[in-house]
Structure 1
Amino acid sequence: MSKLNKDVLSLIFEELTFDKNRFYSNLTRIEKRSLYSCLFVNRLWCEVAIPILWDNPWKFVIHNGLLLNVMILFLSKESQEFLKSQGIYIISAKHDKRPLFDYISYCKYINFRKIENFINNGRSFGFNEEYQNHAMKQEIYKLLINKSTKIKCLDMMNIGPNITHQIYNFNGAKNSLGELTFLSCDSSIDSTFYYGLSYICKLIQKIDIKRCLDDNLGLARLIEVQKNLKCFVCSVYDDRVENNIKYENIGKALIKQAKSLIHLKLIYDDDFFLLSEILPKLINLKKLKLINIDNNDYQLEKYLEISTFSKLQVLHIEIISSLDIAINMIKKTEGNLMEVLLGSTIYDEMYSGKFIRTIYEYCPNIKVLSLGINDHNNNDYIEFEVLLKKSVQLQKIVIDGSFDQSPSNLLLEKLVNYAPKSLREIRIFNDWEITASDLELFLEKWRGREPIVLYFFMDLQEFGYFNDNLLSILKKYREEGVIKNYRCDDEYQDFYFSW
């Protein structure tokens, strides 16, 4: 293995950093431990692992003080003298020798909240006054801007409205921030900060506004000046605030990006901020995710019906009044759809079978799908069987049902007999009454196939039944390798849209 060149090792180590299919709550610690062990193999492995660990050090850090210690070692003499003048004595004789690696130069992420936190907790260094905290933060930001060759991501979430350090004015900002590609932020930050970024950051490809509670003019300007904005994610929903803002400036800025946008995700309530005329203009969209927290948005549905997304690959919509809207949208695509997820949808007898048929006729490449089967309509089961036979790339499926508790025997029988070899995960909504005998028969017949992931959504009152009747069966078949993993959840959004 020591003969592998750096490029091959780097690809392998990158794979160690994240596996979204694992159900670990301490995933970051596992990633860190895996990469950390690579540092001790030999010098070559160490040289490859260090840049990956320091690409986003905030992701892997467990002890804030240790990270601050390392950064302090790289402060310039000018910074050291300035901090001394503020009563901060952090450099001692033991710090005279620089580390073997120029760690800061590898950093491509700046996480404002993490920096604020570990400096605010810097009492072990003897600085407690507000002006000392301010001075320390300033020198750390200067260090990152000056030493980091190419910053790719700025994460400014949860830092409040006032950013006191104008990083875009620091020496080296044009070089380090000029190729910024990802911005995570909220609209509460003062407009002047976004204006400052807009002068030098024109290559952002993804903007993720975690909380958009006002029509921030600076943020609108930053959106407007981008030359290749591909992805826009925004949440205007906040149950703590009554939101009656129209967001005209942000909406107009997005209209100017209509040709380049290929991914749009919006989480909103009834006061939908996106100007209605933009939706039909997004002709190059590949991913469209619209999650209305409250009720059906009939105005949105009207514009969805007149829009054409021929290149669409991913369609996630939460709360639509009729399946017919989704059916018409799917028919206007050109066979590119790979994911179709519809949450809080009523699968009535009129459209449930027609929807399934539309999928297998117009989506030959479907991989992730939600659908509903009306137990009172035998035609739905017939269409479902055809879907399973034709959808040879299907990997994950969510199966909803009618309002009453439907028996699961026929559903599970269709799945085990006709599911394609590619199927790896089944999510079952709580409209299905799954008995222990039905589940055990299904799993016994599944034996010999690739292990399946089972994910159940149910109300809290159903957990007792699940634990008493199904849990021991799932544990048994996981131990025997029939099930790869299983989950039972009452978090609706995670159940439907966590892929």
Structure 2
Amino acid sequence: MACSKFFSGDLSELLNEVIQYFHYDYKTLHSCILVNRLWCRLAIPLLWEDPFSIKSPKNYRFIEIYLCNLSDDDKKRLNEYVIHSGLFPSNTLFNYPKFIKHLDIYKVYNSIETWAYTNLPTSPTTQMLDFITELIVRSLFLIFIENEVNLHSFGVIIKNYEEFECFDAAFELILQNTNFVHNIKSLTLDFDNPNCSNTLNTIIFYSIDFKNINVLSELFNQLNVLESIHIVNCYSLDSGFIQQINNVTKPFKLRSLFLDKMDELLDPLIQKSGNYLENFKITKCNSLQLSQSLELYCSNIKFLYVVLHFKNINLIFKLIKNIRQNLNYLIINFSIICNVDGKIKFSSILLQNLGQILPFKLEYLNLVLAIKGSDLEVFLKNSQNTFIKKLLIRNAKYDKNNQDILPYIKEYIMKKKRVEYLAILDLFRGKGVDLFSLKDEVKEFQLYDIQVLDYYDSVIGVYDFIKETY
């Protein structure tokens, strides 16, 4: 197919298919725009479909490019506060606002606040910063609406009252221009658009208290093409919530369940979701029935987030064995209530038993443990048949004389080329040493085709993972 397109002269279509593979590789996309006009024209829409979410390379100059579309009056208002006069580009090569596909209000707010702070006079007052942020938020939404953007996902995550006030005017604009959210396929929290029943296929509940929400069964029964539901860090999943879910007559396609508390009330939810469940966080679990349901009904989990606790460690091993044919992402962390001895003990038990039950390939493994070198060696030997594309280790040291784990990593990981990407952070009394900062070590790993990454930049955020995957 690709060859036929090439010989028929349809080079732009073929090149577009190639560039699509770099969708979230922003550094490569930045390089693509420098090749020639065709490459630039194909790469720019990908770079600008979600600029607020780009982590690396991170800058906020894209906000200024957006703002060059402002009216002259609004530009004058901004120039009253902004320190440099040449803020807005005189012209741009593309209509950049038209490319926006994904908006997350929380990220928009943080990006604008950071940009405003760096462009305002030294030590601006809180009142001045709030005013300029609110003005820019309203201006950006007005620009997007006027450009009739084709928004694919819209996340409404408000952390505090100040953010709510800031977006008040923007929400008024949206209510007056409902086409702004007419074609969205992924919506977080906002269910007011009456046209969503035949277009909405993804819902993300993020940090929601379901205590006084009593319309869930009606909502889900009206959504005709809903393919994925995600519950992340939510509260009050009580008997009332479960009853509403039981009243849903359509398949309840719960793809993600990340909670900080688990009990027997969740058992009907687990059973109803069954093999739709693909992303799961397991914490303290006292219910034998719930544990059995996880083993019986949830064999399709691909992303598992484990919080170690003395009441769930055996369940963890059983669950990993049960799902390893599909498991692709694994995060293992401490329970916050574990003391030092408990963290060391659970880390030892885990490393002694984990390697032999891992799948043959993992896309991502993040171990947040208190590691002894001998235990790590056992794990690395037992997991020698597992290839890990991206391995992250955050090692909590409670004694400055703790054995260095790097020699074991070099012996069993580096020399055998068992990973593509590696990030290691050693922590002792709140101070961290990141392998990424040790330039000689980084160069040594490069000789074995292993790229060392900054640990915190490499950590997968659950919300971002869900958004990008679904």
Q: TM-score scaled to structure 1, two decimals?
A: 0.60
Amino acid at match of 1:264: H
Are 2:41 and 1:47 aligned?
yes
Are 2:320 and 1:359 aligned?
yes
Selected match of 1:342 from 306, 330, 341 = 306
CA distance 1:414–1:426, change in 2 (3 Å): same
Selected match of 2:360 from 369, 384, 392 = 392
Moved more, 426-435 or 102-111: 426-435
The match for 1:232 is 204
Are 2:185 and 1:181 aligned?
yes
SS of the residue corresponding to residue 51 of structure 1 reads helix
SS of the residue corresponding to residue 18 of structure 1 reads coil
The two structures, once aligned, show a CA RMSD in angstroms of 5.6
Selected match of 2:164 from 160, 163, 171 = 160
Amino acid at match of 2:445: R
Displacement, 1:357?
A: 4.6
Are 2:12 and 1:6 aligned?
yes
SS of the residue corresponding to residue 44 of structure 1 reads helix
CA distance 1:431–1:495, change in 2 (3 Å): farther
The match for 1:150 is 150
The match for 1:461 is 429
Displacement, 1:179?
A: 0.7
Indicate if the aligned counterparts of 1:342 and 1:371 stay in contact, CA closer than 8 A.
yes
Selected match of 1:451 from 397, 419, 422 = 419
Indicate if the aligned counterparts of 2:211 and 2:235 stay in contact, CA closer than 8 A.
no
Structure 1: gaps (5+ residues): 20-30, 186-193, 204-224, 238-244
2 CA distance for matches of 1:104 and 1:63?
Answer: 14
1 CA distance for matches of 2:235 and 2:262?
Answer: 9
The match for 1:67 is 65
SS of the residue corresponding to residue 41 of structure 1 reads coil
The match for 1:315 is 280
Selected match of 2:232 from 256, 260, 266 = 266
Structure 1 segment 26-425 matched on structure 2, within 5 A? 31=26, 35-36=29-30, 38-56=32-50, 58=52, 62-63=60-61, 66-68=64-66, 70-72=68-70, 83=73, 101-109=94-102, 113=108, 141-154=141-154, 157=157, 159-161=163-165, 163-164=168-169, 166-168=172-174, 173=177, 175-184=179-188, 198-199=193-194, 202-203=195-196, 228-236=200-208, 246-249=211-214, 251-252=216-217, 255-256=220-221, 260=226, 262-268=228-234, 275-278=241-244, 283-285=251-253, 287-292=255-260, 296-298=261-263, 300-303=265-268, 307=272, 309-321=274-286, 325-333=290-298, 335-346=299-310, 352=314, 355-361=316-322, 363-369=324-330, 384=354, 386-388=356-358, 391-397=359-365, 407-425=372-390
Indicate if the aligned counterparts of 1:343 and 1:496 stay in contact, CA closer than 8 A.
no
1 CA distance for matches of 2:213 and 2:229?
Answer: 20
SS of the residue corresponding to residue 248 of structure 1 reads coil
CA distance 1:343–1:66, change in 2 (3 Å): same
2 CA distance for matches of 1:461 and 1:411?
Answer: 21
CA distance 1:273–1:9, change in 2 (3 Å): farther
Displacement, 1:387?
A: 1.9
Aligned length: 411
2 CA distance for matches of 1:139 and 1:462?
Answer: 41
| CA deviation map 1:408-467 (0-9, x unaligned) | 425523423543242234455758999647652452243132336555677652758x79
| CA deviation map 1:381-413 (0-9, x unaligned) | 89656424xx22334445688xxx775425523
Indicate if the aligned counterparts of 1:426 and 1:455 stay in contact, CA closer than 8 A.
yes
SS of the residue corresponding to residue 231 of structure 1 reads strand
SS of the residue corresponding to residue 449 of structure 1 reads coil
Amino acid at match of 1:412: E
Q: TM-score scaled to structure 2, two decimals?
A: 0.63
1 CA distance for matches of 2:426 and 2:279?
Answer: 26
The match for 2:24 is 18
Displacement, 1:275?
A: 0.6
CA distance 1:314–1:133, change in 2 (3 Å): closer
CA distance 1:347–1:51, change in 2 (3 Å): same
CA distance 1:418–1:228, change in 2 (3 Å): same
CA distance 1:467–1:151, change in 2 (3 Å): closer
Amino acid at match of 1:70: C
